[in-house]
Chain A
């Protein structure tokens, strides 16, 4: 008997969505992740947009799964308690010539074919009535009322926690180094030992082609890391725009977006740059300047003086331009080439994979399946009475650690103690926003380091920002050695 029915490679949003959907069935599931946490690659560094579905070409998997996925996110955000907002979006054009008109009409037609509701083309004046900070240069826009925004971290964490509550196991800091076919499935070689399984689900993001090509050398795929850089501004940049503002792609480029985040920040980005290095998430001077200049075209008043951070993510773009989802070899299932709109499509990708796998193996629905999950308690989102009661029950919720985002000690401990809990400072930050604010952990990192060390029972010198090697402090002995 193999160790597991299904092993999922990769704990990004796709892997966690697959785990969540597979856990509806009576299957023994394990998610293997090479980093220390869920949501630590492409899933953590993207626009956080739930696309309505007007961009993808009709008939593609991207189109179908985007529309289905965004509908699922709407429902799941309530059941699994993660932040989602239907803020609506706009695609703006800076000319009212034939090219712009036709460009927007093409998106409108695609949207209609894909089943997106309530799309319409509006004038620049109408657009500015809805979004007063839009540039006077905006001449036409496609209004997309059902576009949304989501917290990519909390959505992924919610999927993972729900999967775990239905029995899925997670193995972190485990890198798959080889995949061998066995009579009843596959044997995965990893740097922490071998794991046998009936089925493998390849959700390895930027490395999905590597695993696919190990198993299917005769039908190779090829993924290019496409870097996108972003600039994030503080909350008090706040109500600059309420919609997500896309730019109509032109001969000069795809344009950048300006969007509020579900947490009230303003974000601008991304650019798009194909790289050779699958790990190069560094930001560049040129990239930042490009984004800042382009975003100003849409929203001239964008306050870069309130920038709190900039970051870059790598999109896993496959040569065929569409998602690759399905059984590529007997018992080997791919979810590869998951670039935009991958975040929006994630739950639908998971649903599709789960359907294929449950069908193949005749898996029954799990008894006592848990369909809901409670999110992190945010004392500052409670009424004063509820908050007072919470603090009375647990004084840790009355002690603020992160002053910028009002994060309490109780929330930080909760982030670590939960199933699939945080093991690094970045893990805490993504779950409860400690250090996510304007001071970027200046005041609270010493306290967060000591709480994490205490909860994990390790010395503070072993506390990492993310992966091993990212220790925040160094041993004094190391100094005297020099």
Chain B
């Protein structure tokens, strides 16, 4: 049986940052397994700019951002297997992969870092009635076809969902010469970043229809049109509000789902809200020695945060395999209230944590003029004003180790919004 110290599953931004950071933490025996034929993941198809403002203090395109991490991995001589798919992770961290050259290989990993990313919610999961013609694409698939394969997906498009990829694709298709008729969004707010709404829709006079959805798809072979209807507060379609749009393409940008089939097979606890594994402050999952980072853990808004999180996962994995990490003490559960949907991590170990911990979270709707509060047991340990928080943007709060010194095992750490 082959043995490797750290096996990283996925060679996108999360996997690359985890590998570089594990190396810089002193680990040398690192393997990245990537199912595509190149590193960088979805960044390669994100040819727009706006990446790296936090990490590199400059504005890069997706491929440029990926290239920085790819060259860092190359400089360190980190081994990557491309065109290789992991088929199984079993107890004891046995990782089985498959490719055309080696067939099927199982390796024993000292630590595993899960960095498989996420996928898009498809049409079928949305339950849109009508025919099932060609011309219904998820926004990311269209993005790949346009930006990587150099293809054209359609000439009159409607976009359902105002997630960031949908917004980016509204602009991209317009620049490619297609007519984007509108972006319909089920919710009364956009799930995308404000800067994308401004730069991708407003600048091109593409209307954003909030509280609207596609209520029917027409066309037996290829899309010939869609109906867009208004929805009520409970998101149900309001009868007799349908407006027909003639179009040959419908793009869907209706949410991203962490890709955790391997994680689930491995019996690792999955969080119902994030769709990713539950992790402790060191990003270790419920399975010892298995860490997670990036969009497989929870869907991020900015790749810079993916990189930051993955750097920590790589460092923690390196400390785990070298035996440098203390694993004593109890864990506190992080709980949410008052509009906070989830936190990552979900557990914190007061004894083992670093001096400060960045907890990331999202809210369930837009709030203004709130206070973000953190409680240990019943005692408030942190409070900060929040002028505006939006579901589309990931929020964060810092928890200090010294604030948890008095924690008792039965305590929880509560994060909530208050008036």
Contact = CB atoms under 8 A, between A and B. Distances in A.
B155 A283 contact: no
Nearest to B237: A285
B119 A439 contact: yes
Contacts of A464: 134, 221
A462 interface: no
Nearest to B217: A282
Contacts of A391: 98, 100, 103-104
Contacts of A165: none
Contacts of B120: 439, 442
Interface in B88-108: 98-104
B127 A307 contact: yes
Interface in B247-270: 248, 261, 264
Nearest to A481: B155
Interface stretch (B139-147, B186-194, B351-359): B139-147
Interface string B372-403: 00000000000000000000000000000000
B56 interface: no
Interface string B147-167: 011011111000000000000
A395 B100 contact: yes
Nearest to B99: A398
Contact of A310 (B85, B101, B127, B178): B127
B178 A479 contact: yes
B130 interface: yes
Interface in B271-327: none
Contacts of B3: none
Nearest to A463: B134
A461 B155 CA distance: 14
Contacts of A288: 127, 129
A422 to B, nearest CB: 15
Interface residues of A, number: 58
B122 A440 contact: yes
A474 B152 contact: yes
Interface stretch (A141-149, A177-185, A339-347, A399-407): A399-407
B74 interface: no
B405 to A, nearest CB: 42
A279 interface: yes
Interface stretch (A51-59, A188-196, A293-301, A465-473): A465-473
A38 to B, nearest CB: 18
Contacts of A236: 264
A115 to B, nearest CB: 39
Interface string B238-254: 00000000001000000
- Secondary structure at the A interface, as helix, strand, loop or mixed, is mixed
B154 A446 contact: no
A399 B99 contact: yes
Interface string A290-312: 00000000000000000111110
Contacts of B221: 464-470
B131 A400 contact: no
Nearest to B236: A285
A44 to B, nearest CB: 11
B222 interface: yes
Given A308-B122, A387-B104, A479 B129 contact: no
A476 B175 CA distance: 13
A442 B123 CA distance: 10
Nearest to A285: B129
B346 interface: no
B50 interface: no
Contacts of B129: 282-285, 287-288, 310
Contacts of B123: 309, 440
Contact of A475 (B103, B152, B222): B152
A98 to B, nearest CB: 39
A168 B41 CA distance: 47
A270 to B, nearest CB: 15
Given A310-B124, A446-B144, A479 B177 contact: yes
Contacts of B179: 482
A318 interface: no
Closest 5 CB pairs of A and B: A395-B100, A309-B124, A469-B221, A470-B221, A440-B122
25 contacts: A281-B131, A282-B131, A282-B217, A285-B129, A285-B216, A288-B127, A309-B122, A310-B127, A311-B132, A391-B100, A392-B103, A397-B100, A398-B101, A398-B102, A398-B104, A442-B122, A461-B151, A469-B221, A470-B221, A470-B222, A474-B154, A475-B152, A476-B177, A478-B155, A479-B178
Given A285-B216, A470-B134, 10 more contacts: A284-B129, A307-B125, A391-B103, A398-B101, A439-B119, A441-B141, A442-B141, A465-B133, A472-B134, A474-B153
